[in-house]
A = this chain, B = another copy of it.
Amino acid sequence: MKPINVGLLGIGTVGGGTFTVLKRNAEEISRRAGRPIRITAVADKNLELARKVTGGEARLTDDAFEVVGDPEVDIVIELIGGYGVARELVLKAIENGKHVVTANKALLAVHGNEIFAAAQARGVMVAFEAAVAGGIPIIKALREGLTANRIEWLAGIINGTTNFILSEMRDKGLPFAEVLKEAQALGYAEADPTFDIEGVDAAHKATIMSAIAFGIPMQFDKAYVEGITKLDPVDIAYAEQLGYRIKLLGIARRREQGVELRVHPTLIPAKRLIANVEGAMNAVLVQGDAVGATLYYGKGAGAEPTASAVIADLVDVTRLHTSDPEHRVPHLAFQPDQVRDVPVLPIEDVVTSYYLRMRVDDKPGVLADITRILADSGISIEALLQREAAEGESQTDIIMLTHRTVERNANAAIGRIEALPVVRGQVTRLRMEALQ
């Protein structure tokens, strides 16, 4: 059968992996897809690299717009990244009637509504399995595997860099800055790690998952984003003592008034399967009303794991590219006219539990004052850990785990606790989720 022709934009790590896997598994893939899938054109600024990777088996150019305009190309793979030229290229490809496969989470989280509307109008597919959690087929699970369910919430370890750093901080008791350097040396963190360690990358992915889980538009600008840079190893250790692990989670939860969409370090019970996802691995936990909890685990980054997702999309698109659009899965899982503008709630309206650590004077009545404030705010205490003051010390740490309350209420109570003269400095506050 006639091969389908693919134009590849960007032949870096994932692009190279895609080329390699498509070639190595050509037979296996066409046995599934029903026809060969071949990369016929590659655009990259680095022509030498492109030549090395492709070994002369594809036409090379340093002009990506030329590939997007190539009448021979059926599908464009966009692996350039970022919001700028990638957006122009994707929109141009759509305009030219080409299907698009992309791993670009930043682009979709920020410009997805525009891109999917354009694709819908032009009758082409934009596939993005590789944009979330690398090789784990989580987009397919959410869009197709769980269609029977009203999805209640999802929570994911969706950034390998930060999960590697948190695993190392816990295992070795080292501070963030030191582990970050190690992660950079090992290639687990980039030279400029801002998007990863500040939670932005996880927020891009959580935004995409929230849209397809709940049938809402992308609302990245409304997401609450908090990274791991301020995390103190002492809190990782206290959490451990209390039976919890700290993970950077991307959380999306359906509430009556709207949707919670947030990324922050989170205490989770150590006995949950997802708490045991270590190193650079990813996992997403999804709660549906019929199926209950399901978990999806695997490599969230890297050349071949991400290529696995890119190629799965290529096979899907190959299968459906000449089909009537009504036979295709809607881009955001829900039919375009059924996407509803449900608001993302501000962080003050989020309901969660809290881990609180405070430095206090070691004298009678302190605990009574603090617990009184919490009781007055209607916040129940689930667990309490008071370190015995070391000899000669006049201060000690109190650690508390609270039951669920609305963040606004927790903030007010924390403010009152910090105002107590026996409490020294600020209260350290981390959010906590039972994930049940």
Which residues of A are interface residues toward B (Cβ below 8 A)? 17, 21-22, 24-25, 28-29, 31-34, 129, 134-137, 140-141, 144-150, 215, 273, 276-277, 288-299, 304-305, 307-312, 314-316, 319-320, 322-324, 326-330, 333-335, 338
Contact = CB atoms under 8 A, between A and B. Distances in A.
B297 A25 contact: no
Given A32-B333, A319-B327, A137 B148 contact: no
Contact of A296 (B144, B296, B329, B334): B296
Nearest to A148: B311
Contacts of A333: 32
Q: Which residue, A273, A294, A333, has most C-beta atoms of chain B within 10 A?
A: A294
A395 to B, nearest CB: 39
Residue with the highest number of chain B CB atoms closer than 10 Å, among A148, A291, A304: A148
A298 B308 contact: no
A144 B148 contact: no
A335 B294 contact: no
A177 to B, nearest CB: 29
B141 A308 contact: no
Given A273-B297, A293-B298, 19 more contacts: A17-B290, A25-B150, A28-B149, A28-B150, A29-B147, A31-B215, A34-B330, A134-B291, A135-B292, A137-B145, A146-B308, A147-B315, A148-B311, A289-B304, A290-B305, A290-B307, A291-B299, A292-B305, A295-B297
Contacts of A323: 323-324, 327
A83 to B, nearest CB: 27
Contacts of A273: 273, 276-277, 297
A256 to B, nearest CB: 15
Given A148-B21, A326-B34, A338-B31, A308 B320 contact: no
B298 A32 contact: no
A148 B141 CA distance: 17
A278 to B, nearest CB: 9
A150 B292 CA distance: 31
The 4 tightest CB contacts between A and B, nearest first, are A137-B145, A148-B311, A294-B298, A135-B291
A25 B290 CA distance: 9
A134 B292 CA distance: 11
A305 B141 CA distance: 14
A147 B312 CA distance: 5
A144 B150 contact: no
A259 to B, nearest CB: 15
A330 B34 CA distance: 9
B148 A334 contact: no
Nearest to A310: B148
A144 to B, nearest CB: 6
Contact of A135 (B290, B322, B326): B290
Contacts of A33: 147
A233 B21 CA distance: 45
